[in-house]
Chains A and B, each alone.
Chain A
Amino acid sequence: MRGHIQIWFFSGILLLTYGVLIFATGLWELGHPPAQEAVLWQLHAPIWWGGMMTAAGLFYTVRFRPL
């Protein structure tokens, strides 16, 4: 499978996509708090969890990009 896309690249793309989606949702919720807030909503988990996923996704996407 030399020269083919590695699983880590697929993982990176998925992490990056999900990270951006969740991070953006978290930011949007800052201005539009949901009617029913989750417990510990004030910790803004989507922002830091989505942010970490975005960073990890970026790293894996770039590091294992097909050459």
Chain B
Amino acid sequence: MSLALVPAAALGAFFQAPMKQSLVHLSGVDIAVIAIYFGMVIYIGFYLKGAANTSEEFFMAGREMTAWIAGLSFVSANLGSLELMGWAGSAYQYGILATHWYWIGAIPAMLFLGIIMMPFYYISKVNSVPGYLALRYGESTRGLSAVCFAFMTVLMSGINMYAMAVVMKVVLGWNLSFSIWVSSITVAIYVALGGLRSAIFNEVLQFLLIWLGALLIPILGLIEAGGWTNLKAQIAARMGSNDYTHLWSTTAHFRDNPMGIHWTGLVFGLGLVISFGYWTTDFLVVQRVLSAHNLRAARMAPIIGAGFKMMVPFIVILPGLLALSVLPMHLVPANVAAVTGQPSYNEVLPLMLVRYCGPGLLGLGVTALIAGFMSGMAGNVSAFATVWTYDIYGAFLNKKASDSHYVSMGRWCTFIGVLISVGTAYLVQHAASIMDYVQALFSFFIAPLFGTVILGMLWKRATKSGGFWGLLAGTVTAIGLWLWVHFNPAALRYVALSPDAKVMAEDMYRALWSWLVCVIVTVVVSLATQPRPEAELAGLVYGATRLPEEHDDHWYQKPIVWASMIAVIFVVLNVIFW
């Protein structure tokens, strides 16, 4: 999950991290490994500059990406280090329940995107999700969606940047401004030069580095713990409970699991609404798939991404669980750590890295963290430049400019987006609570947007007015519920349906209610307004669109076959760790 889906409570903990002595001391080899990485990403930006001359090349990577490249980029743009470290910390705190954000919180939605939704995005030849909304619901819905997305994306990028600087300060003792400026200038250079193609190329490299840098931790950790069975026994003995190693069996009641969550919230809130909202409508990730060179590649990309996403808990959740068993010290919440000086949950991954990795491997692990941050930042900035140029500037401010003018605007937007992000990073430094609000604001929009897009794709009767008012009503509902709980924490029992619910449950139920309101309002308003002629809906809506036939040489090349295989593995894994 991206920063957008890391719960505010977990994210906020980063900003309370104590500024104590650094955890890691780098050797010359480690510094060489990091320097080589920076040199390589900047070289790729310069190398690809010549292939980013038209708007199609700059914003859509020329629509030339293979399924593998688009798929790896799709999952990498989402795999930020903040998320890696945050969820490793959550695994230490809540146990294996944190895996839900990688499995039920991602896999069904990614498969749905590939099989059901991608044909409509792809054959309508839109450049963005707001672009699809413009064709389906008109310019007002596009404007609402584009402005919210552009604004939130660039703010999130700044928060991501500041979080990276804090982590580098805690882990390596680096100066905050040094980390912010070095990483932001690097990202600005390679995205502004090579556009989306450069961002995608680097995301593939970053994905590789994240795995290479992090994979040794679970391998060596399992050797030290004596295997999975021994690990479970050690955790049960140390924590005095078996709840930390079960995915579903403890979710029958809010009280029965460390997260204070109920299976209905996980299935309907996380699995149905939040996850589908993020993975199928957030342009940050959808943009990567739209760069595919044909419809089959566009459908396969999210399916390939789902396969890799399903493996991520091995390098994120497992280290958190291993830490419960092998670390001699006890980690504490960040607010306690700030007072006592003990290590916090969020330091699990660096602590495990230091435990097993000497010179060279340590540099690789730190490079993996930096790569994760930069992939997330580049994803935000490239998506911002595209939505601003196509859906705000080109749609409302300057409709008849030349193609080269839009490319130039995209390059400038990249720098401006990075500068706004840097400004946000410094703003958050002085008022960390802003981060919570931005985080919440982003989440307000995701769930209703999914309602609007999915009705637009699957229901011919949805009208322009229905789409606009449904989206607005859903967003207002999300904001209202958040304000209600913010000013009256006791209201959580009504929003999450139980007095035993904890903060993690709130996000899921709030998303569910706002999505339902969006759907109901869209349906009611649509039925009360004039439908669009079916001829206008060709290429946009199921039932009004003739999907192009795909000719695969063999049955095993069909996207549905691969999606079914991933789905079966997903079910089996959930049963194994039930």
* Interface set of A (CB-CB < 8 Å, partner B): 1, 4-5, 7, 10-11, 13-15, 17-18, 21-22, 25-26, 29, 34, 37-41, 43, 45-46, 49-50, 53
Contact = CB atoms under 8 A, between A and B. Distances in A.
B573 interface: no
Interface stretch (B355-363, B434-442, B559-567): B355-363
A10 B356 CA distance: 28
Interface of B: 29, 32-33, 36-37, 40, 44, 47, 51, 62, 64, 69, 197, 201, 204-205, 208-209, 212, 216, 220, 223-224, 326, 354-361, 364
A22 B209 CA distance: 14
A14 B356 contact: no
Please indicate which of the listed interface residues A26, A37, A40, A53 has the most CB atoms of chain B within 10 Å of its own CB.
A40
A7 B69 contact: yes
A39 B355 contact: yes
Contacts of B32: 21
Contact of B212 (A18, A39, A45): A18
Contacts of B29: 21-22, 25
A26 B456 CA distance: 57
A12 B19 CA distance: 38
A7 B220 contact: no
B364 A14 contact: no
Given A1-B64, A29-B358, 11 more contacts: A18-B212, A21-B32, A22-B364, A25-B358, A25-B360, A37-B358, A38-B354, A39-B326, A41-B358, A45-B216, A53-B212
A46 B223 contact: no
Contacts of A49: 216, 361
Contact of B357 (A13, A15, A38): A38
A7 B36 contact: no
10 contacts: A1-B64, A21-B29, A25-B360, A26-B360, A39-B224, A40-B224, A43-B223, A45-B356, A46-B359, A46-B360
Contacts of A41: 358
A59 B223 CA distance: 29
A18 B36 contact: yes
A23 to B, nearest CB: 8
Contacts of A50: 360
A7 B212 contact: no
B364 A18 contact: yes
Please indicate which of the listed interface residues B69, B197, B364 has the most CB atoms of chain A within 10 Å of its own CB.
B364
Given A10-B40, A10-B44, A45-B216, A22 B360 contact: yes
Given A26-B360, A38-B356, A14 B36 contact: yes
A21 B32 CA distance: 9
A38 B217 CA distance: 12
Main secondary structure of the interface of A (DSSP, over half): helix
B204 A7 contact: yes
A38 B355 contact: yes
A45 B33 contact: no
Nearest to A4: B51
Contacts of B360: 21-22, 25-26, 46, 50
A38 B326 CA distance: 13
B208 A15 contact: yes
B242 to A, nearest CB: 26
B359 A34 contact: yes
A43 B205 CA distance: 28
Contacts of A39: 220, 224, 326, 355-356
Contacts of A40: 220, 223-224, 356
Given A4-B51, A21-B29, A25-B359, A11 B220 contact: no
A49 B220 CA distance: 11
A1 B212 contact: no
A37 B358 CA distance: 7
Contacts of B359: 25, 29, 34, 46
A43 to B, nearest CB: 7
A38 B221 CA distance: 12
A50 to B, nearest CB: 7
A53 B363 CA distance: 15
Nearest 8 A/B pairs, CB to CB: A25-B360, A22-B360, A38-B358, A7-B201, A7-B204, A39-B355, A25-B29, A40-B220
Contacts of A34: 358-359
A38 B358 CA distance: 6
Contacts of B44: 10
A18 B211 CA distance: 14
Given A34-B359, A46-B360, A10 B223 contact: no
B481 to A, nearest CB: 43
A48 to B, nearest CB: 10
Contacts of A53: 212
B58 to A, nearest CB: 14
A28 B37 CA distance: 23
Contact of B208 (A11, A22, A25, A29): A11
Nearest to A34: B358
A38 to B, nearest CB: 5
A26 B360 CA distance: 8
A18 to B, nearest CB: 6
A38 B357 CA distance: 6
